[in-house]
Structure 1
Amino acid sequence: MSRIALVLRHADEIHLGNLEQVLLEHGYTVRYVDTLGVDGVRDIDPAEADLLVVLGGEMGVYESDRFPVLTDEIALLTNRLGARRPVFGVCLGAQLMASALGSTVYRGPSNEIGYRLVEPTAAGQDGPLRHVAGIPMMQWHSDTFDLPEGTTRLAGSAAYGNEAFAIEDWALAVQFHPEVTAEMHESWLSSSEEEVRAEGLDPDAMRQDRALHSDTMQLASRALFSEWLSALPDAAAGPRRTP
């Protein structure tokens, strides 16, 4: 019987990317929920899906006045995490997880855009995060958070100390974007050239970086995600795969 991966999406162009195939290989059926749609997330049973994936978005966790659904997502995550049910969060998703666990999310020191190194901690090197060591990963964020109590810090970067954290083997949050394919990167870049140039970055240089790093990054991302899925508690894990 297929397992269900419920995916909270905040924009059509910010989707599962190269991670979707990994979920399919591990026996999951993927169901997207467009959180800004009319139905929102209030009717979702926090414990029902085998896996909850919360993707990125252009809003900040602290902008619930503009995006009321964020409050509902935090409530959903609070209940889901309280029930110790598997969660994977990316960028905004990681920040929402941190907020649901009682931490503050706020503007960081810089708008970090581009392929940047993420350095696993000792704990990170002992698990799936080791796959990203020495490999530039896609970053596109300007917010950060305090490490939630009861979690393990798995990675940091030169600009941001908290790039990944976990709760045991069933909840994982990453600030970087492991899901980004070359096509997604071009879509984001083409629609955000004004933002990129305002940060003193050259879009064409970023395309050159993509040519250098995208394929390797996607291999590392898939290995990371596959290993994490394989280690989920038996009640939620898909078929075992070798990363």
Structure 2
Amino acid sequence: MKVLALKHFEFDDTMALEQWTSLGAHELLIVDPANGLVEAWLEAAELLVILGGPMSAYDDEKLDWLVEEKRFIARAIEQDKKILGICLGAQLLAELLGGSVHRHETKEIGWHRIERTAERHPWVDDLPEAFHSFQWHGDTYVLPKEARRLAESEACGQQAFAWGDRILALQFHLETTPACIDQMLTRWANELVSAPYVQDAAHIRSEIGRSSESFRMLHMILDRIAAS
């Protein structure tokens, strides 16, 4: 399967995605949307992965390239591509599918418990009913019409949704590596304020071993996507 991944910040570590594509003999192209997007990349792709980033989905006026990225993703939706959106990627999908994105009442940073809802979708059938995942977000989304809400947390009711059979959006980060987390804790330390759902750096580092299980769950999702 040919995979196109949109990566939004320099130190985002795509190791978990690279590992999966390598083990399955898939092809992976990673590009930064800020440097421009080529239509031929989308035509060749069988799966579009939209990764996270520190910007917001509503930053159109600040980031010219974000407007073009939205058009690019909209064309992927129109072409019925398989799409996986993560954090910012999930929020972009929510907006493009008719929902909206806004600042959440609380930030959610650290390792938080995710619980699946009663809604089902084959791409997440292998996930446990409850698990922990890394989170780093201050925005949330309004669920698009006809979307299935697949997961929630105590802090945020919108943690995952599916739209149709070929689009999956995850607010949480199964893909984040220990190296990337370490960079986030250093570069974005100002966000680690005292708040109910913001863990401090020591707490986050103490649970960093959860990354291995997160990668396993991400690979299960990707296996399901490849087989569909």
Q: Does the alignment reach a TM-score above 0.5?
A: yes
Give the conservation status (yes or no) of the 8 Å contact 2:134–2:173: yes
Deviation at 1:61, TM superposition (A): 0.8
Give the conservation status (yes or no) of the 8 Å contact 2:121–2:162: no
Give the conservation status (yes or no) of the 8 Å contact 1:9–1:56: yes
Give the conservation status (yes or no) of the 8 Å contact 1:9–1:15: no
Question: SS at 2:158's partner residue?
Answer: coil
5+ residue gaps in structure 2?
A: none
- State whether structure 2 residue 42 is matched by structure 1 residue 44: no
Number of the residue aligned with 2:179: 183
Number of the residue aligned with 1:174: 170
Which runs of at least 4 in structure 1 moved beyond 4 Å after TM superposition? none
- State whether structure 2 residue 65 is matched by structure 1 residue 60: no
Pair 147,33 (structure 1): closer, same or farther in 2 beyond 3 Å: same
Residue number among 224, 228, 232 corresponding to 2:225 in the alignment: 228
Q: Whole-Å Cα distance in 2 between the matches of residues 166 and 130 of structure 1?
A: 15
- State whether structure 2 residue 192 is matched by structure 1 residue 159: no
Give the conservation status (yes or no) of the 8 Å contact 1:4–1:49: yes
- State whether structure 2 residue 83 is matched by structure 1 residue 87: yes
Question: SS at 1:122's partner residue?
Answer: coil
Identity in percent: 30
Pair 214,15 (structure 1): closer, same or farther in 2 beyond 3 Å: closer
The alignment covers a number of residue pairs equal to 225
Q: Whole-Å Cα distance in 2 between the matches of residues 125 and 80 of structure 1?
A: 20
Q: Which amino acid aligns with 2:18?
A: E
Q: Residue by residue, what CA displacement relative to the aligned partner does 1:147-179 show, whole Å, maximum 9, x if unpaired?
A: 112322111111211111113332111010110
Residue number among 91, 97, 101 corresponding to 1:101 in the alignment: 97
Give the conservation status (yes or no) of the 8 Å contact 1:51–1:85: yes
Q: Residue by residue, what CA displacement relative to the aligned partner does 1:96-153 show, whole Å, maximum 9, x if unpaired?
A: 1111112111101111001111111122476525514332101100111111123221
Q: Whole-Å Cα distance in 2 between the matches of residues 55 and 130 of structure 1?
A: 21
* CA RMSD after TM alignment: 2.0
Give the conservation status (yes or no) of the 8 Å contact 1:109–1:159: no
Pair 125,51 (structure 1): closer, same or farther in 2 beyond 3 Å: closer
Pair 36,155 (structure 1): closer, same or farther in 2 beyond 3 Å: same
Pair 78,142 (structure 1): closer, same or farther in 2 beyond 3 Å: same
- The alignment's TM-score, normalised by the length of structure 2, stands at 0.89
Number of the residue aligned with 1:75: 71
Q: Residue by residue, what CA displacement relative to the aligned partner does 1:50-77 show, whole Å, maximum 9, x if unpaired?
A: 1111111100011111111111111111
Moved more, 88-97 or 48-57: 48-57
Q: Whole-Å Cα distance in 2 between the matches of residues 108 and 75 of structure 1?
A: 25
Pair 132,179 (structure 1): closer, same or farther in 2 beyond 3 Å: farther
Pair 127,49 (structure 1): closer, same or farther in 2 beyond 3 Å: closer
Q: Whole-Å Cα distance in 2 between the matches of residues 127 and 30 of structure 1?
A: 20
Give the conservation status (yes or no) of the 8 Å contact 2:94–2:101: yes
Number of the residue aligned with 1:35: 33
